[in-house]
Amino acid sequence: MSKYFFHPKSSCMQILLVYPPFLDERPKDYDVKPLPIGLYYIAALLRERGYQVEIINWYNLKDLDLARWTFSALKPDIIGFSIFNANRWGAIDLARLAKEILPETRIVFGGVGATFLWEHLLNHFPEIDFIVRGEGEYTFLELVEKISTNYSLSDIKKIEGLAFRIDGKPHSNEVRAFIDNIDELPDPAKFFSFQHVISSRGCPWNCIFCGSPSFWKRKVRFHSPEYFVRQLERLYRKGIKFFYFSDDTFTLKKERVIKICQEILRNNLKITWQAISRVDCIDEEIVYWMRKSGCLQISFGVESGSEKIRNKILKKKISLEQIKRAFNICRRYGVVPRAYFIYGCPGESKKTIKATTNLIKEIKPLSLVCYILDIYPGTTLYEEFKRKTGKGDDIWLERIEDILYYQTDPSLSEEKIRRFGKQIHDTFDKFFPKFIETLNLIDKKELYPFHADFLTRLGMTIQYGELSERPGIPKKEILAERLFHRALQYYPDQHAFLGLGIIYQKRMNFKDSIKILKEGLKYFPQSEELNICQAVNYMHLKEFKKALKHLLPFDKSPEAMLRAAACYEALGDFKKRDEYLIYAKSLQKKINPNDIISNNSV
């Protein structure tokens, strides 16, 4: 029992919150890179109470020497790890290292992965001292308060939502009730900057592949529109202009969503954002206000074209008509509808994959993400897996992130799953030009600037974004060119002019590039991008003095100054060339290289 008695800590105790690394390399890390929003809320609550808290994002940490140096330098009294199933081993490795360096430091695991495997983790990993189960803010705060003072086992047993060991055996206190009014939590935007925001907690549905029903008990609680928009405004004032609204279903309450959108407009927040929704929680009025307030994309879990897989097996509970309607509304209002599909499900076959590819052709998504069905703790699918196989949580002693369902189903093979995935992706790529050609935007003049923006962004995404990385999409440059022209029929959009200027430039058609950029510069004479692109046209034509007229006004731009130096060299003025080279390098040193936009095509 003596392990539960400690000397008092000072009020300046150091707390470190860590997002640990994942096991597997990912070709794209956008789904795991962002810090869990819960870490920001916990840290904000602690800071408001006077504790010193730091957050570290080590999602892609490769070198444990960096962690060793960090732990040694900061000497935290408490280290909290935010756990998903896929990064639990990263946390375990870091916890062992921390205990090696700082044996008295308390190690706390929390998050969905720790909540569902709390007993397993305490049974097998002695470096873990405590586990926060469920919603973590007040459980973690109370634990920190106890560690700050003399405390006993009886004190720890009073903390709801906490798990730990008694006589070496895992023990969990009473479950902590959810926070009724989440507006009472301090706004993390007062202390931190972040792009992934959330206006609600929980989801009322019961999909078998998702841990939300077990974690949030199918109960949804909402921030008020005022709280949420105030948070957006604080982040906007810090320079953040693009956001991911990470609610499980942002549009669950229509009146509330519209109020949020209207408040964004009323506060003149010039932001853009993406959201997640369900096809049965969308209508034209909602999408109208979302688009007006900056929404660019809505992601929908369609899951499968097979009604049996979608609703009877995965328990998604959405109809074909609801899917078609939601995608049509988004396409009409100039919001990218992103479709999420899951394949490799129970009962998956050539027939069900054909139903999925047919659905893709029918709903015409403008973005597509596909996942192979995973099995994770906390899901209905996992409980079924344990019942069928007789296996328990000790399967997670293997250094694996997850279990793919098809690996447990004799009727499915890896080769078959790969073929299914290829069919889905090939269908999207092949028919994507038709998805673009059949866009029929709603004819509302107030939305014309938004339509121009939508079409331009699609063109840029095809040329330079995620769609450019899909080799199966045919004639991407021609598609983009048509989108830019169509955008300009609605409204003069700076990037539509730029997109066309670059396309013509790449074709060595400098005459048409100069012509379209001149038109653009009538509307946007101060545009650095348009001017530099125009300067490059003149440089190709060896009209260097004309090029300089477009470059010299942008004396804070390293790219413009480097091109100006090249112009002076071509004109034989080597003194000015050297002056501008030195000046450009001095500008580069002042700017983070990652923040410099370099357009290699111009």
| Per-residue pLDDT at 596 | 30
- Whether the predicted pLDDT of 106 surpasses 80: yes
Kindly state whether residues 124 and 244 are assigned to the same domain.
Answer: no
Look at residue 158 in the predicted model and tell me its pLDDT. Answer: 96
pLDDT digits (tens, 9 = 90+) for 222-253: 999 999 999 999 999 999 999 999 999 999 99
| Any domain includes 97 | yes
pLDDT for the residue 4? 35
| pLDDT-based confidence at residue 255 (cuts at 50, 70, 90) | very high
Q: Given 369, 396, 431, which residue is the final one in a domain?
A: 431
Percentage helix, strand, coil, to 5, in the chain?
55, 15, 35
Last residue of some domain: 402, 431, 460?
431
One domain for residues 166 and 245: no
Question: Which of 292, 291, 318 lies closest to 306, judged by CA?
Answer: 318
Residue 313 near residue 273, CB atoms below 8 Å: no
Task: Render pLDDT for 121-161 as a digit per residue (tens, 0 to 9).
Answer: 999 999 999 999 999 999 999 999 999 988 899 999 999 99
Q: What is the pLDDT of residue 587?
A: 93
**Overall number of domains in the chain:** 2
Residue 275 lies in a domain: yes
Domain match, 18 and 89 both: yes
What does the pLDDT look like over 522-532, one tens digit per residue? 999 999 999 99
Q: Is the pLDDT score of 25 beyond 90?
A: no
Helix 448-464 vs helix 494-506: angle between axes, to the nearest 10 degrees?
30
Q: Is 410 inside any structural domain?
A: yes
pTM over 0.75: yes
Kindly state the average pLDDT of the residues 164-177.
97
Same domain for 162 and 230, yes or no, is: no
Q: Is residue 373 part of a domain?
A: yes
- Do 159 and 189 belong to one domain? no
- Rounded Cα distance, 517 and 557, in Å: 19
Each residue's pLDDT tens digit, 328-363: 999 999 999 999 999 999 999 999 999 999 999 999
Mean pLDDT for 527-551 is: 98
Question: Of 547, 540, 588, nearest to 567 (Cα)?
Answer: 547
336 and 380 fall within a common domain: yes
- The CATH number of the domain holding residue 86 is 3.40.50.280
What is the predicted pLDDT for the residue at 593? 33
User: Which domain does 8 fall in, by range?
Assistant: 2-172
Structure tokens that stand for 220 in this block:
């949804």
Whether the predicted pLDDT of 7 surpasses 60: no
Residue 288, C-beta contacts closer than 8 angstroms, at least 6 positions apart: 333
Positive/negative CA dihedral, 386, 389, 385, 387: negative
359 shares a domain with 242: yes
The answer, yes or no, to whether residue 597 has pLDDT greater than 70, is: no
Residues 277 and 303 in one domain: yes
Residue ending a domain, choose from 413, 431, 449: 431
| Average predicted confidence (pLDDT) for the chain | 95
Residue 511's alpha-carbon distances to 201, 456, 484, 540, in angstroms, are: 55, 22, 18, 11
Instruction: Judge whether 487 lies within some domain.
Output: no
Count of H-run helices and E-run strands, the chain? 24, 17
- 574 domain residue, yes or no: no
448-501 confidence digits (pLDDT tens): 999 999 999 999 999 999 999 999 999 999 999 999 999 999 999 999 999 999
CATH code of 390's domain: 3.20.20.70
Place of tokens 């409980």: 383
pLDDT attached to residue 11: 53
Same domain as 235, residue 339: yes
Burial class (CB in 10 A: 0-12, 13-18, 19+), 206: middle
Shared domain for 188 and 162, answered yes or no, is no
Residue 344's Cα: distance from chain center in Å? Answer: 24
Are residue 358 and residue 252 in the same domain, yes or no? yes
**Does the residue 544 lie in any domain?**
no
- Residues 446 and 448: their CA atoms lie apart, in Å, by 6
Does some domain include residue 287? yes
For residues 195 and 149, state if they share a domain.
no
pLDDT (mean) for 38-60 = 97
Residue 375, token pair as written in the block: 């099995």
